[in-house]
Amino acid sequence: MKILVIDDQQLVLLSLEKAFTDLGYEVKCCDNVFDAVLVYDDYRPDLVIADINMPVMPEGTEEDDTATIINMKAAGLEVLKYIRFVKEDDTPVMILSGNVDEEIIEKGFELGASDYMKKPLSLNEIGIRVRRLIGGEAPGVKKEEEKERFIQNACVGVVIPCYNEEKRLLNEEFKSFVHRNLGYHLCFVNDGSTDNTLEVLRELEKGYEGRISVYDCEKNGGKAEAVRQGMLHLAKESQFDYIGFLDADLSTNFDDFRDLVTTITNSEFKIVSGSRISRMGADITKESARKIISMSINFIIRKTLGMEFRDTQCGAKVMTKDMVEILFNKKFLTKWLFDVEIFMRMKKLFGNEEAQKMLCEQPLKRWIHADGSKLSFKDSFKIIGQIGQIAVHYR
């Protein structure tokens, strides 16, 4: 039995191709309407699974006159139209999408869709629906495990800067996360590490190609530059709906990061930033002296920004791809306070009032202080000088 899968996000194609192959099906994949039509004619599949939102033409080619008249919000339905009305075939067509527009869903069924699957959904559910339409069953399939593996309704790239993080990277949580969350890609940026970080990262990547990648900076340029290069690197890929960054120590863990993604997906915000201090009045440290310094630094940052952001330095943020391209195109002044610079750049580009409408500060539920992640008192005083440098530069 043959299946044609059409989706413009490589993470989705990877997941479905592997899942259906394991179930004993033959699979081909396409990432645009034009190629899908050509492959359909040649491949003659027993089932077509098509995303609703996708490009009409292959990436890098100019769209012809036909493409301009297609409803770009539901271009995937053009494949369904072609099968039903041009080829006059009754091949089962399953629509897979995060699109919740009821008119588009209704239109799909009017055109003859056999089934509609709304993201997020488990690989187990997809397998059940496919078998219902065309039959087939693979022996020894781990159904319970597949129930816990989900294709999210958005594809997210996550940059993780790494400088001498050899021991932390041995944490199995990274592999476990991408194994279960099929809409996520982790991009580890090696920031000129002097230990075995790069070797560990290469091992981490094995077996998870497409879900884990390594961006190697030969020289240490500081966290700000590592994050900047990683963000711009991921922004070149069309598949990502959102791109964010996270610390390798997982002081903000993946559960909290997914909460940030959920917020930005279900809102009009352009950036959602994690916040440690604002969660029910929690302290970022138990040490009173360090707490006083931290609170003082945050007060100075708020006054410099002119925004009531309680915690700019969390180290976990997610944003729309268009924000990445305009906020990370130039190097940051400082190695530590690039988060503050991101907000300053937004103010400069959009104005204070509009920038605040685009930003969301979300309390974290599970944040911890990882061993070795604290700044020294000396570093804390350096930060105050850097805040002044930022204030002068962006004014």
Query: How confident is the model over 186-203, as pLDDT tens digits?
Result: 999 999 999 999 999 999
Tokens of 94: 């399953």
| Least confident among 24-38, 59-73, 140-154, 174-188 | 59-73
Which amino acid, one-letter code, is at 68? T
| Least confident among 63-72, 85-94, 150-159, 213-222 | 63-72
What pLDDT is recorded for position 303?
A: 76
What pLDDT is recorded for position 10?
A: 92
Task: Note the pTM of the prediction, 2 decimals.
Answer: 0.87
Cα 228 vs. chain centroid, distance in angstroms?
A: 16
What pLDDT is recorded for position 285?
A: 46
Higher pLDDT, 310 or 48: 48
What pLDDT is recorded for position 280?
A: 41
What pLDDT is recorded for position 171?
A: 86
pLDDT digits (tens, 9 = 90+) for 2-59: 999 999 999 999 999 999 998 999 999 999 999 999 999 999 999 999 998 888 888 7
pLDDT digits (tens, 9 = 90+) for 101-124: 788 888 999 999 999 988 888 999
What pLDDT is recorded for position 96?
A: 87
- Map out the domains of the chain with their CATH numbers: 2-147 (3.40.50.2300), 154-286+313-334+357-375 (3.90.550.10)
pLDDT digits (tens, 9 = 90+) for 343-389: 999 999 999 899 999 999 999 887 776 655 555 556 666 777 788 88
pLDDT category at 68 given cuts 50, 70, 90 is very low
What pLDDT is recorded for position 47?
A: 97
Per the listing, tokens 């527009």 go with: 101
Answer whether the bond into residue 92 is a cis peptide, omega within 30°.
Answer: no
pLDDT digits (tens, 9 = 90+) for 322-337: 999 999 999 999 887 8
What pLDDT is recorded for position 88?
A: 95
pLDDT digits (tens, 9 = 90+) for 275-296: 886 544 444 444 555 566 667 7
Residue 140: pLDDT above 80? no
- Rounded to an integer, the average pLDDT of 155-178 is 95
What pLDDT is recorded for position 214?
A: 98
Higher pLDDT, 144 or 48: 48
What pLDDT is recorded for position 71?
A: 52
pLDDT digits (tens, 9 = 90+) for 226-266: 999 999 999 999 999 999 999 999 989 999 999 999 999 99
